[in-house]
DNA sequence: CCGTATCCGGGCCGATACTG
DNA sequence: CAGTATCGGCCCGGATACGG
């Protein structure tokens, strides 16, 4: 990155934090984390729990979460095979602020909807 | 959305929450919110503060935040024109859990980096 | 200074088919 | 059951040019 020192010196940290946050915001990760928060689950349990995610995206999401050390993957080589996913300790510690943010979102859904409606109405046509 | 009732009844809420969270995770919104948290700022102040954002994306980001009722936009029709952006009350209330998440990200950056390195190393080749 | 309009390349993501 | 492989659309987002 050619970040040419914009204004504050803590830019580099911001960039890193931003990278972490973009993982959280990638549409599926949060849902997976919330589902795993209650208990470990198998691949297709997660798939059904989320409902409209494609197999491909669930795989990718889980791989990324595993790579970040947030989710553990344990394979039981039986027939048929069994794979369990669970939050790591790191994953659980992340789940807390995520939960807080989710709670905020939930609490303010109607305010946001109202604001959007208002905005769209005033932006006539 | 054709969500065909997957497992739990609170799916609809999850979808809405997810929509809100995806706004937060869209790469720039969080940075804008953090910058506006300290004080209102003008367009190019924000641009310089972020450093590598394109004019287009800053505009879009601010429009979305304004649409959600998180940011206010006040125009002073002078020459040259002046536009100030500030967090609304709703925006400030969002800034808190976002800040918490940012703090978590910051605190665990090294753990995540380490996990990634470990993962990439074990995924040989 | 603060935007909007247009072009366009890359990557995200769903659909589908195939393996162990 | 739990994936990998491949293809293709489409949207995100940067670059550039222009207007109030």
A55 near A47, Cβ under 8 Å? yes
* B90 contacts in chain A (CB < 8 Å): 108, 111-112, 115
Domain membership of residue B16 (yes or no) is no
Residues 6+ apart with CB under 8 A from A33: A65, A70, A87, A91, A94, A95, A98
* Structure confidence at residue B125 as a pLDDT band (50, 70, 90): low
- Higher-pLDDT residue of B4 and B71 is B71
Q: Is residue B52 part of a domain?
A: yes
8 Å CB contact between A108 and A102: no
- Domain around A31: 27-123
Query: How do B41-42 and A82-87 pair as beta strands?
Result: unpaired
B117 lies in a domain?
yes
Please answer yes or no on whether B7 and A100 come within 8 Å at the CB atom.
no
B79 within some domain: yes
pLDDT over threshold 70, residue B98: yes
B1, B97, B101 ranked by CB distance to A21: nearest = B101
Residue-wise pLDDT tens digits, A76-98: 999 999 999 999 999 999 999 99
pLDDT at residue number B76: 96
CB distance from A12 to chain B under 8 Å?
no
Q: Is residue A109 part of a domain?
A: yes
Gap from A56 CA to C18 C1', Å: 14
- Residue A1 near residue B51 (C-beta atoms within 8 A): no
Asked if the structure places residue A17 within a domain, the reply is no
What is the total count of domains within chain B?
1
Give dist(CA A18, CA B112) in Å, integer: 13
Give the distance from residue B78's alpha carbon to the nearest chain A alpha carbon, in angstroms. Answer: 23
CATH of residue A37 = 1.10.10.10
Closest CA to B26 of B71, B72, B47, B57: B57
- Predicted local confidence at residue A26, as pLDDT: 84
- Determine, yes or no, domain membership for A33: yes
Helical packing angle, B29-38 and A11-24, nearest 10°: 130
Residue A75 resides in a domain: yes
Terminal Cα distance for chain B, rounded? 42
Does the pLDDT of residue B124 top 90, yes or no? no
In a mutational test of the B interface, the residue from A104, A106, A114, A123 whose CB has the highest number of chain B CBs within 10 Å is A104
Per-residue pLDDT, averaged over B74-91, amounts to 96
């Amino acid at each position: 990155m050619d970040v040419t020192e914009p204004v504050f010196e803590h830019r580099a940290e911001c960039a890193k934090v931003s990278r972490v946050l973009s993982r959280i915001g990638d549409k599926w990760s949060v849902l997976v984390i919330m589902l795993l928060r209650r208990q470990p689950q198998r691949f297709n349990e997660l798939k059904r729990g989320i409902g409209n995610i494609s197999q491909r995206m669930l795989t990718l999401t889980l791989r990324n979460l595993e790579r970040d050390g947030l989710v553990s993957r344990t394979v039981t080589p039986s027939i048929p095979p069994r794979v369990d996913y669970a939050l790591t300790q790191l994953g659980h510690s992340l789940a807390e602020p995520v939960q807080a943010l989710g709670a905020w979102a939930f609490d303010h859904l109607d305010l946001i909807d109202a604001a959007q409606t208002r905005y769209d109405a005033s932006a006539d046509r």
